[in-house]
Structure 1
Amino acid sequence: MKSEEADIPYYQQLKKVFINHIKNGKLSYGDKIPSERELADIYQVSRMTARHAVMMLEREGFVERRVGAGTFITNERIRWNTVTVNSFTKGMQDKGRAPSTKTLIMEEREADAQTAKQLKVSEGERLFYLKRLRKVDNIPLAIEVSQIPYRYCPQIEHYMEDNVSLYHVLHQYFDIQLIRQKQYMKISLASQSESTLLGVPDLSPCISIEGQAFAESGQPIEVSQTLARGDLVEFYSEPSNP
């Protein structure tokens, strides 16, 4: 491999070659890539350079190693807009994806001190608690928890079921429209139970998001926690047109 930019290490150049092949469709999910020895021969680099490039691709979620089988291209990353207040279902459908949602827990709970402060309600107030597993194209993507003061949406459990948008139900049946959100992101390791739900190895790196969603009046309506797969999700910001 000949370097066009002498300051860029060969392993990074090789990694970039594979990422470009994935983005332009030359490589697709499930394709097997050459072995490290073959990569070294094809691109005229050392085996150590080839190994380093593959390790970086694996660490960033572009490939996965399968014992006894080789290294394969992983799932295409799914883009998730963090700015627009929109339902998960509609957002993914707009991208041509097939979203689905499975309800894990739906019940009433009492607000703890932190949640009460975020929602500007009294500690111990009844909340609607909803925990769901989000999938895209039948692939587990994220675990999502929503908590809303029950007085804003009494009997909401009668309208909620799998594959129904929470935001749509709030708007249609309770005249609540969420127009703004605040989110905090960090890297978190999935627990054993979370890993099982997401279909990833234990302690896999995930993106943890804590958020609040607000009505037009400025009143916080929802507190949410999302744990998204780090190997699949690509968050981005794209404000809607004024």
Structure 2
Amino acid sequence: METNFPCELQRRLEQAIAAGKYAKGEVLTSSDLAGQFQVANDEMLMVLLAEHRKGLVIKREGEVFEVLGLANTGFDSVFTHTAKSGLKPSSDVRAAEIKGASPEIAEKLDLEVGAPVYRFVRTRYINGEALANQINYIPFEVCPGLEYDDFSYYSFQKLLEEKYFAVFTQMEEDLAIVPADPQDMEILNLPEGSSVLVVRRLAVSATGFPLVWADIRIRPDRYPYVAELWPSAADLLANKVL
């Protein structure tokens, strides 16, 4: 899918904010910044609206924005938490593509239908055992170029924070146990008639905008791993005959 987002301009502005060139609370206008960076105003406005989504700035009136700077996160990624627990996490990216947002994904991510989004499909492993079949959807402007990154042995969340300055400040989760579909059975090596634990997670920025929508389908029979990584699911699993 073709995109016309000014990725290099975004990178330059984000690095300037991260380096402290623009102080927290400083008021910026797209026209002033366009002059400083010697680019068209509409390109700078596109970037500023992306930074508003990511939480580096907040939009005020018209084309006026206030600098927020880099937010702090109170969330360990699942990958980081896993490693701290003495387990060995890894993942295999089975698909990485840019697609137009479907009505469902557009609603989840607060986008227009058809807006470019990343669709990342991964198998997640713990100690070499397949644990989860996961799909992430991310607005393109959050992390342009993500398809070229290798996070097989690195935290996806930390990559977004450190390289793309996209920090999760809030997580919303829904949990359910549902019948495994054919792909779950193939990827997770489950027999027919099995169930999976589904974690649907929305990661939100400091300005309240969605950054990542994740659909995670997990082998619940590996209870010690699941209870360690998703403590909120422990009671649900303990009361369910799998």
Do they superpose with TM above 0.5? yes
After superposing on structure 2, the runs of 4+ consecutive aligned residues of structure 1 that deviate more than 6 Å are none
Which amino acid letter does the alignment assign opposite residue 174 of structure 2? Y
Higher Rg: 1
Distance 2:144 2:168 in 1: 17
TM superposition shift of 1:85: 3.3
What are the equivalent positions in structure 2 for 1:1-242 lying under 5 Å apart?
Answer: 85-232=75-222, 233-234=226-227, 235-237=230-232
Give the structure-1-normalised TM-score: 0.61
Which amino acid letter does the alignment assign opposite residue 121 of structure 1? L
Distance 1:203 1:165 in 2: 32
Distance 2:118 2:199 in 1: 19
Taking only aligned residues, the RMSD between alpha carbons, in angstroms, comes to: 1.7
Long gaps (5+) in structure 1? 1-83
1:192–1:203 contact (8 Å) kept in structure 2: no
Distance 1:89 1:144 in 2: 13
1:102–1:163 contact (8 Å) kept in structure 2: no
Distance 1:131 1:116 in 2: 18
Which amino acid letter does the alignment assign opposite residue 132 of structure 2? A
Distance 1:87 1:223 in 2: 14
TM superposition shift of 1:161: 4.2
Distance 1:203 1:216 in 2: 42
Deviations along 1:77-114, one digit per CA (max 9) or x if unpaired, are xxxxxxx7332221110110011111111111111111
Distance 2:182 2:163 in 1: 37
Name the structure where helix makes up a greater proportion of residues: 2
Distance 1:111 1:94 in 2: 35
Distance 2:159 2:216 in 1: 20
Distance 1:86 1:109 in 2: 29
Give the structure-2-normalised TM-score: 0.61
TM superposition shift of 1:237: 4.0
1:118–1:220 contact (8 Å) kept in structure 2: yes
Alignment partner, residue 31 of structure 2: none
Between the two proteins, the alignment pairs up a number of residues equal to 155
Deviations along 1:121-164, one digit per CA (max 9) or x if unpaired, are 10000001111111111111111111100012111112234223
Q: What SS is found at the alignment partner of 1:154?
A: coil
Alignment partner, residue 18 of structure 1: none
Distance 1:181 1:220 in 2: 10
Q: What SS is found at the alignment partner of 2:82?
A: helix
Distance 1:85 1:183 in 2: 13
Distance 1:203 1:145 in 2: 22
